[in-house]
Amino acid sequence: MKKIILSFLMLSALVFPSGVLADSYSQGEVDYQVSIDKKIRPIDDSNFYDNIGRDQKIFVGDDLMDFNILVENTGKDILYNLIVKDFYPVVNQIILAPGEIDKINRQVSWKIDTLAVGETRNFTLRAKVINTNSSMSQTNVATVCSNNVCDRDTATFYVATKTSPSTGSNDLVLKTGIALTLSLAALALRKLARGY
């Protein structure tokens, strides 16, 4: 008889599942967080910087620069289908990028399918300075977004028109002629004074 009652109770739990405490299987509160960090470096420097100030370096035409983008899952849940976009200023031409380059909208975009908790992904872009009409600061913006979260970071640098340094060669011929004439005169006077 005990077996029949026990079988009946198990069957009733399967037929009427509302009696089962399902909330004990809850995943709890969802915590999505993402961060993006954008840095820049001149091609001849081994260090990346958050920004490059005017006193550190001014980029001119044909200079190369690298941008480093670090995406990190700082939350407590896996992130899916992250879209990373890098918006570059009009002074740059992208040479190397991890995704599709849209020259009309001046952006590079790519997808990260999954990013585990605490996982980071590192990407590098290389750009060339092609347009330096005047001295001004430029800001390169990077964003990362999923359906749940977004983050944004920037890297600022300065550009200027390339100038040729003053060498003082405007009157070089005149000064050379005067020096040569004085040298010949001194040589003639010496010869005359010595008698030979």
3-state secondary structure the chain: CHHHHHHHHHHHHHHCHHHCCHHHHCCCCCCCCEEEEEEEEECCCCCCECCCCCCCCEECCCCEEEEEEEEEECCCCCEEEEEEEEECCCCEEEEECCCEEECCCCEEEEEEEEECCCCEEEEEEEEEECCCCCCEEEEEEEEEECCCCEEEEEEEEEECCCCCCCCCHHHHHHHHHHHHHHHHHHHHHHHHHHCC
As a whole number, mean pLDDT of residues 23-27 equals 48
pLDDT band for position 196 (50/70/90)?
low
The per-residue pLDDT for 155 is 96
Whole-prediction pTM? 0.68
Cα separation, 24 vs 54, whole angstroms = 59
**Which amino acid is residue 47, in one-letter code?**
N
| Mean pLDDT across the chain | 84
pLDDT in tens, 60-115: 999 999 999 999 999 999 999 999 999 999 899 999 999 999 999 999 999 999 99
pLDDT band for position 12 (50/70/90)?
low
pLDDT above 90: percentage of residues in the chain = 59
Domains of the chain: 34-159 (2.60.40.740)
Cα separation, 111 vs 81, whole angstroms = 6
Report the sign of the C-alpha dihedral through residues 165, 171, 173, 177, in that order: negative
